[in-house]
């Protein structure tokens, strides 16, 4: 488990990163830097008293206030102490986030220290704490939100390079406890969760001449993205467990869950937005009302990926969608609710989906149009679609499909749809057996089954015992053929 002692390593790391000698910081210098950064961001830091000492500065009654608005945070006391290694350390007292509404947020900590050190692009910061606790309490009439979020053995660092901001954070454990009540929505719940081994790394790319504090509106943000502003993040976690209890009398229930280690990554810039998340396995136990025993489901890898171009109007960009569900298994109690007669096959559910292709789109242009009401300068165009994988296995049936299509966008400018050109191959195994099972369960009538079988016979060709295949072709002019026969 990564956990750095920021006070010891931050100046050394900064020296290695920038490659130049570092002068020792002073408490007054760091305090002035913080005040200047606050002013640049449209805020002001004020203190009730300042007490200077030998190599240290003590601030009492610290208040952080946006221009023309009430204070958003107060800190009871901050000691700023110069360190022998040239860095400066902060030792804050209780931190309270002020809220003009019906709630309050308080941050408490154990052995929290924050360091400031010389960096290539200015001052960098790091922190280290035995624990950090954020308490949120909101009461508004009959509505209640009460939550505590505890980070155990947490550490991290923030550096300001000449062309990027970098962030690293980690914690041995995240524990939260939440109670919610909202009678209008029928919510009366309590939830606890415990997650081990959290880590986050990220970088914010800064184009030359862009000041983050100036990005106060949509046009400024869009201009910054086009100039090179971008972000990349990766988060990992270890084993997670938790419980949710819903006390709503209309639908009381209790859910226990656990998840294996997982990873989430995000990349966003002028070229692409790419998001992917996966967990190695999970286990969910549900205790529904009026059930003599709980029902459970377990699963292997669960993953989701999504990517799309951002500013690709002149030249096409790639998009994609991936979904993975491996070995989802229901226990006997769950199947007893669904299929008490044991008619269907109770094997695991598996889903694999991988779609991709190319498109012309300028998301930034669409954002600006939504902000200003001026029509976008470009019209999005779907160019290609590749069905790389589409596979589902459930209830004894297996379906697979692959295909590739291009699109004619000649009618899009006149409000028409893009016209596909291409083929898809589909294979279904076990379809008739599944229909027989649904009839035996009473879920499907004989008349409905007859219609379903006729559709399968119309669109499928026999390729073995209870196996059907289909070739679907989209041709020029909007015509569609299935197994060589035109249906449109």
Question: 273: which strand partners?
Answer: 268, 308
User: 318-354 burial, b if ≥16 CB within 10 A, otherwise e?
Assistant: bbbebbbbbebbbeeebebeebeeebbebeebbebbb
Q: What is the pTM of this model?
A: 0.80
Cα separation, 477 vs 474, whole angstroms: 9
Cα separation, 320 vs 316, whole angstroms: 13
Cα separation, 213 vs 228, whole angstroms: 16
What ranges in 303-391 are assigned the alpha helix state H?
A: 332-338, 363-372
Backbone phi, then psi, for 22, in 5-degree steps? -115, 135
What pLDDT digit, counting tens, does each position of 136-185 carry? 998 888 899 999 999 999 999 988 776 788 899 999 999 999 999 998 88
**Long-range CB contacts (within 8 A, 24+) of 474-482:** 474/405, 474/419, 474/420, 474/421, 474/422, 474/423, 475/421, 476/408, 476/419, 476/421, 478/419, 482/458
What pLDDT digit, counting tens, does each position of 185-222 carry? 888 999 999 999 999 999 998 887 776 666 767 888 88
pLDDT at residue 289, rounded to an integer:
72
Of the given ranges (13-27, 56-70, 258-272, 388-402), which has the lowest mean pLDDT?
13-27
Q: Which residue has the higher pLDDT, 249 or 78?
A: 78
| CA nearest neighbour of 159 among 14, 57, 333 | 14
What pLDDT digit, counting tens, does each position of 361-374 carry? 999 999 888 888 78
pLDDT at residue 213, rounded to an integer:
62
> Cα 30 to the chain's mean position, in Å?
34
Q: At what angle do helices 363-372 and 218-227 cross, to 10 degrees?
A: 160
Domain boundaries, the chain: 1-185
């Amino acid at each position: 488990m990564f956990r750095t002692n920021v006070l010891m390593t931050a100046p050394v790391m900064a020296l290695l990163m920038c490659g130049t000698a570092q002068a020792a910081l002073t408490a007054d210098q760091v305090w002035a830097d913080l005040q200047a950064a606050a002013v640049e961001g449209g805020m002001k830091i004020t203190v009730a008293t300042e007490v200077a000492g030998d190599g240290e500065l003590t601030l009492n009654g610290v208040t952080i206030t946006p221009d023309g608005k009430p204070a958003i945070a107060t800190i009871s006391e901050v000691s700023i102490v110069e360190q022998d290694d040239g860095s400066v350390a902060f030792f804050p007292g209780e931190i309270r986030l002020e809220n003009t509404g019906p709630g309050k947020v308080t941050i408490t900590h154990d052995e929290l220290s924050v360091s400031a050190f010389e960096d290539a692009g200015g001052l960098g910061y790091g922190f280290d704490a035995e624990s950090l606790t954020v308490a949120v309490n909101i009461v508004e009439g009959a509505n209640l939100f009460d939550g505590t979020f505890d980070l155990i053995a947490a550490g991290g660092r923030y550096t300001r390079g000449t062309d990027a901001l970098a962030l690293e954070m980690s914690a041995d454990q995240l524990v939260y406890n939440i109670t919610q009540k909202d009678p209008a929505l029928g919510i009366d719940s309590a939830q606890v969760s415990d997650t081990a081994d959290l880590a986050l790394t990220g970088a914010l790319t800064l184009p030359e001449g862009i000041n983050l504090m100036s990005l106060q509106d949509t046009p400024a943000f869009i201009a910054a993205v086009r100039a090179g502003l971008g972000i990349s993040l990766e988060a990992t976690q270890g084993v997670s467990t938790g419980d949710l209890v819903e006390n709503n009398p209309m639908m009381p229930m209790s859910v226990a869950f656990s998840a294996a280690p997982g990873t989430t990554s995000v990349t966003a810039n002028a070229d692409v937005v790419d998001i992917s998340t996966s967990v190695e396995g999970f286990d969910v136990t549900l205790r529904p009302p009026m059930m003599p025993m709980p029902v459970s489901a377990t699963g292997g890898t669960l993953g989701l990926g999504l990517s799309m171009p951002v500013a690709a109007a002149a030249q096409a960009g790639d998009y994609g969608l991936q979904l993975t569900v491996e070995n989802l298994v229901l226990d006997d109690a769950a199947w007893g609710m669904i299929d008490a007669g044991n008619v269907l096959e109770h094997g695991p559910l598996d889903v694999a989906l991988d779609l991709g292709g190319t498109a012309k789109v300028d998301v930034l242009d669409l954002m600006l149009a939504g902000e200003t009401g001026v029509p976008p300068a470009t019209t999005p165009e779907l160019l290609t679609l590749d069905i790389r994988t589409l596979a589902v296995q459930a209830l004894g049936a297996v379906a697979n499909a692959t295909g590739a299509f291009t699109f004619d966008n000649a009618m899009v400018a006149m409000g028409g749809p893009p016209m596909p050109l291409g083929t898809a191959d589909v294979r279904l195994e076990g379809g008739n057996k599944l229909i027989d099972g649904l009839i035996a369960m009473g879920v499907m009538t004989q008349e409905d089954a007859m219609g379903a079988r006729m559709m399968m016979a119309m669109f499928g060709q026999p390729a073995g015992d209870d196996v059907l295949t289909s070739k679907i072709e989209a041709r020029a002019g909007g015509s569609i053929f299935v197994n060589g026969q035109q249906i449109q």
